Amino acid sequence: MTRATLTDVLTPALAQGYAVAGVVCLGWEDARAYTRAAELEGLPIILQAGPGARAHMPISVWGAMFGELAESVSVPVVSHLDHGTSLEDCAAAIAAGFSSVMFDGSALPLSQNIARTAEIAEMAHAAGVSCEGEIGYVGYADGAKSRGTDPEEAARFAQETGIDAMAISIGNVHLQQEKHQGLDCNRLAAIEALCDIPLVIHGGSGVPVRERQDLARMSKICKFNIGTELRMGFGAALSHVMSEQPAEFDRIKILGQTEEALVALTRPILRALKP
């Protein structure tokens, strides 16, 4: 199937009460495993290249790889730039064939975040590409602290930027290795009362699976970003391969043996968000 945009997969998710996983990719083997899992489940998937992935491998390579994977399966696959920090980042992703970009201006003052996000959304839409923005600030485990999304600011941000999806901060944290106590549902309800746009949760690995499942069905959250949970699974699979075959030195043989474990780990994550 040809590539899908974020709007293609999130509009029906919002209307029908489910969510789509945005999986953080770091290489060919994990991206292929996530795509295979989506095909086996018959569900859409959003393949994401974040700042770490882009520092490791050029954006043009990510674009070509995601495009190849999208063509290899029958389910919708979104090729998504995660945490772009400039217009140049997003323009490079669009030129590389990405179908969706996220501009993260969440650390900026509100007026600057609105202005820059609106500019990037306009550029993306002109190219037939979706745009995600962020309001409030999602912090990091053992790092920068979160700043919760203000519902009134969220309403203004959604209206004035023209974005297709809005990442919010309601207790979610990036790089969580453990499931925490849950999200701020009162803040979520206040945001939902003022906004009709599909909502996005970054740091989805830290949200309990049952809560992800419930929010997918009962809220306007239509996208959960899942990274740390899957990276931990990859690390465990790689460690197992190396302990079982300590003399193996062939990179392709080693990494190839992690894929089935990743497919098995990913399938229930996708399934928990389905309609």
Domain boundaries, the chain: 6-271
- Give tens-digit pLDDT for 103-138: 999 989 999 999 999 999 999 999 999 999 999 877
Active site residue 82: yes
Element counts in the chain: helices (H) and strands (E): 12, 8
**Whether pLDDT at 244 is above 90:** no
**Whether pLDDT at 13 is above 70:** yes
pTM reported for the whole predicted model = 0.94
Structure confidence at residue 251 as a pLDDT band (50, 70, 90): confident
Structure confidence at residue 152 as a pLDDT band (50, 70, 90): very high
Q: Which helix (H) or strand (E) holds 9?
A: helix 6-16
Residue 240: the pLDDT is: 85
**DSSP-derived 3-state class of residue 185:** helix
Concatenating the DSSP letter of every residue in 48-88 gives: EE-HHHHHHS-HHHHHHHHHHHHHTSSS-EEEEEEEE-SHH
Q: Which is it for strands 221-226 and 20-24: parallel, antiparallel or unpaired?
A: parallel
Residue 234: the pLDDT is: 85
Residue 90: the pLDDT is: 97
**Whether pLDDT at 219 is above 80:** yes
Which residues lie across from 101 on neighbouring strands? 81, 131
Contact 241, 254 (CB under 8 A): yes
Looking at residue 123, its amino acid is M
- The pair of structure tokens assigned to 135 is 């309001």
**Whether pLDDT at 208 is above 70:** yes
Q: How far apart, in whole angstroms, are the C-alpha atoms of residue 189 and residue 21?
A: 21
For the ranges 16-20, 158-162, 241-245, the lowest mean pLDDT is seen at 241-245
Nearest to 118 by CA among 157, 161, 62: 161
Residue 139: the pLDDT is: 64
- Give tens-digit pLDDT for 156-197: 999 999 999 999 988 776 656 566 767 878 899 999 999 999
**What letter would DSSP give residue 99?**
S
Any idea which fold 6-271 has?
TIM Barrel (3.20.20)
- The pair of structure tokens assigned to 64 is 């070509």
Structure confidence at residue 42 as a pLDDT band (50, 70, 90): very high
Residue 189: the pLDDT is: 93
Active-site residue, from 8, 30, 82, 142: 82
